[in-house]
Structure formats: C-alpha cells, structure tokens
Amino acid sequence: MRDYRQFYIDGQWVDPAIPNDLDVINPANEAPCAVISIGGQSDVDRAVAAAREAFESYSRTTRQERIELLEACVAVYRERYDDIAVAIREEMGSPHTFAVEEQADCGLGHLVEALRVLREFEFEQEMGNTRIFQEPIGVCGLITPWNWPVNQIGCKVAPALAVGCTMVLKPSEVAPLSAWLWSEVMHEAGVPAGVYNMVNGDGPGVGTALSVHPDVDMMSFTGSTRAGVAVAQNAAPTVKRVAQELGGKSPNIVLDDADLEAAVTSGALHMFANTGQSCNAPSRMFVPAAKLAEAEQIAARAAASVVVGDPADPATTMGPVVSKLQFDKIQGLIQQGVDEGARLVAGGTGLPEGLEKGYYVRPTVFSGATNEMVVAREEIFGPVLTMIPYDSEEEAISMANDTVYGLAGYVQSEDLEHARRVASRIRAGNVKINGQWGGYAVPFGGYKQSGNGREWGEHGFADFLEIKAVEGYGD
C-alpha cells in the first residue's frame, strides 16, 4: 500500500503539522490502496508562505527560463507517464486503456500546450504612449477534482508556471495518488522551491483555508457548483479572483437529418466513457419523437456493448464509479427516474451481472423522459443517459437551454451548416459538432452555473495574469 502521508512544501516532502491519516480506497475492490494525511490551517499557512516568498524571484524569471523549466517538466512527465496511468487506475477505477490513452495523456497535453503558448505569448503591447503589461497575478490556490485528476492539475499548474505565478495545490482527497506523482515530476524537473506546493486535505479544511487566506491572490477551482459557490463566498472578503469550472447537464441534440445509428451510438458510448464521471458528459439526448423507438434500440445495443469490470483487465471498457458515496447517490437517482415514470431501456439499479464487489454501476438508459424530471435536471455523475423526445427543432433548442448549467453541448447532423446554426444557439461554453474534439488549445469553461473563466491553451493564461497600463512609457 502506498504511503503518501507527506506534503510537498518549499521544495521538499514534509510531515503534516498534525497527523491525520485517511485511507484511499480502490473503488474496484473496496480495499485501501494508499494512506494520505488530511492537512489543516498550519499546513496551508506554511505552503502559502513558501509560495509568497518564491513569487518575488519566480515572477521575474525570463520567458526563456520558464520555457526551459516547462521543457524539463515535459521530459520528466514522459518518463513517469506509465506510473501516472497506473495511479489513476488505482485511485478512481479508470480502465487501464482509458487511463493510458485519455487520463494520463491530459497532463502531458497541457504541459506541451502551455509550452507552445509561452513561446509566442505577448506579455506586452504598445497603445500610443502607453505600454500594456500582462503580469503574473501572484500566489494561486488550486483545487482539483477526482474525476479527471491529472487533467485538472495540468490545466491549472502548467499555465500558472508558464506566466510566472507560484501556487498551492489541493487535489481531491478521494483520488490523490496521481497528484503525488505530479509533485514528484515537478521536483525532478527542478521547479524552484516554493513555486509549486501540494497539501492534501478536504474542502472544509484545506480548501477553505486556501480560499480565505489573505496571501492567496486567486483561486482556481474545479468541482461541483455547490462547492464552487462556497469557494467564491470564502474568497469574497479578500477580493481575490476566482476562476471556476463547475457542473453540467449537457444536451446532445440529434437532429432529424443525423445518421441516427452513428449519432445515438456515439452519444451513448460517450456518456458511458469515464463511467459517466465527466462534467461535460452528454447526459441529455434529444431525439426526434418519430425516431425515438429506433433510437432506444440503438442506445440499448450501445449499453450492452460496454464491458464493465476490473480496470486492470484490458478488455474492460468501463470501471467502477469512484466511491461508495457516489455509488449510493447514483443508485438513488436511477430509482428516482423509475419512480418519476421515465422508461428504463437499459441498466437500472444494482450491480452489473457477475460483479459482487466494487462500486460498479450498470450502464443505464432512460427514455421517454421529460425535461422536468430529476434525471434530466440533476448532474448524476454516473453512466446514466436520459433520452428526451422533441417534436420540433425549436423545442429541442429550448429544452437544451432550459438548465441552470451551460458547460457543454453537442449537435449531431449530416448537414454541417445546419449543425452550425443549431450550435450557435446553444448557451454553453463548448459545443461539439458530430463529436469532434479540437485539442488542448481549445478554451474550456462554462456559461451560467457551470462557472466562469476559461482553461486550456492561450485562453487558460488569462486568469493567471494581471493587466498593468504604464502611461507615458513611450516617447
């Protein structure tokens, strides 16, 4: 079992101020796979002090110095890539192939992208006799979730390093193993002492201590909308910047001219990827009412094709959800869907056949739902697809936007111009046409209660920068 009870502060591994052990549970077998410490105020104070001291020198490093540092981070991450994939498999039950090809790739992808942007980013520009500077904002508190652990660490730490900020990371206590390995990568790459710090802990303890800390200049948070509101409230008295990527209940509009077989199959399998534990998952599928019966059969076949089982088995395509807490929540919401009158096309409550241990959920498809049902409004965060019929395109667009969330949207059509017109009307920060993905340079973030600010690529630099205008700078 891994012993990860230390924190990474000021360039070294240190013991917590007060011992407070927590077992990390492997969701595939319900057994402890590691032990960490839960930090507190003293640990946060120590980490923030280190970051504040390091900011004075690191914020004045040259572009070339930071380029060389990120190049070193990329090189070490490549060396530790397989270790990180295994850690993600253990901590959150990600199937091995998915952990290698998708989860672990995110950390590398964001480092490489930040390096690309840094090489050409314009930190200064002229405006008449004024020079506009973009400068590092200061000490950053970073709070990351368990569902895409290295992805969210990478898309925060990489741009913060690139622009000259220092930071304290609080990864999820549910899935902290990959964060430990990330910290080893930072150390081995030669990140200067105090620039990057990591303290494990929970939201009420370490998360709150970071959010309220007067020496933290900005908070970058990814997680639930409920927790995001708490971070913003805690940060308000010190008027620190808060960037948030929060929940979602993303619509997937299958237009009448779509290839129904391809659209429904890809939409359902996307929903089951990562065991449905993605904030941008296409959880509401809007289907023309006349084609609903056919779409149900297609979705049922897609669900049946999913291989649920041991994440270490190469044949597995869907692992468990991350914890018993999540398992119980999902089971309750599936039952609520049944009670509300949604038609169960595939899956349902209980463990998948042949599995008696682990937090496994059956790939589930509801159909004939209305947009007012709980399964169509609440973020389930599990492999549960809700199919909703529509009579007109206007109705589909209206229902798609009838949500407090606005993180992502999906449009399926064989007519690209048609898809573009519908995509332009979806109130969400990221819309995919026919499942296309734009890569790590594309901005990611949401409208409404799905957050504010943008991560990834050049847009991801903005939240870590302050703007200074020096008038009279020119001749």
Q: State the catalytic residues.
A: 245, 279
User: With DSSP H G I counted as helix, E B as strand and the rest as coil, what are the percentages for the chain, rounded to 5?
Assistant: 45, 20, 35
Alpha carbon distance 110, 220 (integer Å): 16
CA 199 – CA 46 distance, rounded (Å):
10
SS (H, E, C) 198-267: ECCCCHHHHHHHHHHCCCCCEEEEECCHHHHHHHHHHHHHHCCEEEEECCCCCEEEECCCCCHHHHHHHH
3-state class of 301 per DSSP?
A: helix
229: left (phi over 0), alpha (psi -120 to 50) or beta: alpha
User: Terminus-to-terminus CA distance in the chain, angstroms?
Assistant: 65
Helix ranges restricted to H, 18-95: 41-58, 63-92
Could you tell me the CA-to-CA distances from 47 to 37, 169, 211, 290 in Å, in that order? 15, 9, 13, 59
Query: Which residues touch 233 (CB under 8 Å, ≥6 apart)?
Result: none
Q: Nearest-5° angle of CA 194, CA 33, CA 207?
A: 40
CB 104 within 8 A of CB 130: no
DSSP string across 308-371:
BS-TTSTT-SB---S-HHHHHHHHHHHHHHHHHT-EEEE--SSPPTT--SS-----EEEES--T
Residue 376 DSSP code: H
Residue 471, strand partner residues: 130
Cα distance between residue 447 and residue 244, in whole Å: 11
